[in-house]
Structure formats: structure tokens, C-alpha cells
């Protein structure tokens, strides 16, 4: 049994990247325009960039975990099919 591999279109990938860059730019610009000291701006930007990098790491970890469980399920299914074939031949 083959699984269907779904892939994102090029247009979707471009939209995601552009939306990310716009959000980063506008938020960074907004922090720079705040009427606060340099240290407060630096603290807010560090928090922003740390939150974004943590989001990337979380998404990758969840994706890797999901793909790993799919692989384990395929291996288990293949072993079961092999045992059933062997039983049917006996």
C-alpha cells in the first residue's frame, strides 16, 4: 500500500515566506518606533526573536515525531503482513 505524498505548491511557499518576512519586519519596526530606551527595545527584540526561533524548533520537533510514528506504523504493518503471508502459505 503506497501512501500519497502531498506537496505544497510554489505559490503557497512564497506566500508563507513573504508573510513571515512582512510580520518580522513590521514587528521589528514597531519595536524600534516605541518611545522607550534602547535597553527596552533590545529586550523586546530578543524576546521576539527567541519566540520565533522556539516556534521553529517546536514545529520541527513535532513534525519529526509525527514522521517517526508513521515510519514505525509502516514497519509494524509490514511485519504483520509478512506473518500473515507466512501463515497463509503454511
pTM of this prediction?
0.64
Spell 54-90 as b/e; 16+ CB within 10 A means b: eeeeeeeeeeeeeeeeeeeeeeeeeeeeeeeeeeeee
Phi, psi of 34 (to 5 degrees): -65, 145
pLDDT-derived band at 4 (thresholds 50, 70, 90) equals: low
If one compares 41 and 7, the residue with the highest pLDDT of the two is 41
- Across the chain, mean pLDDT equals 88
In a 13 Å sphere around the CA of 56, the CA atoms on its Cβ side amount to 6
Amino acid at each position: 500500500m503506497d501512501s500519497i505524498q502531498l506537496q505544497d505548491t510554489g505559490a503557497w511557499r512564497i506566500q508563507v515566506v513573504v508573510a513571515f518576512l512582512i510580520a518580522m519586519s513590521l514587528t521589528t519596526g514597531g519595536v524600534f518606533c516605541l518611545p522607550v530606551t534602547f535597553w527596552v527595545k533590545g529586550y523586546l527584540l530578543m524576546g521576539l526573536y527567541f519566540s520565533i526561533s522556539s516556534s521553529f524548533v517546536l514545529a520541527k520537533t513535532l513534525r519529526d515525531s509525527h514522521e517517526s510514528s508513521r515510519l514505525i506504523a509502516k514497519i509494524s504493518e509490514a511485519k504483520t503482513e509478512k506473518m500473515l503471508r507466512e501463515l497463509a502459505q503454511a
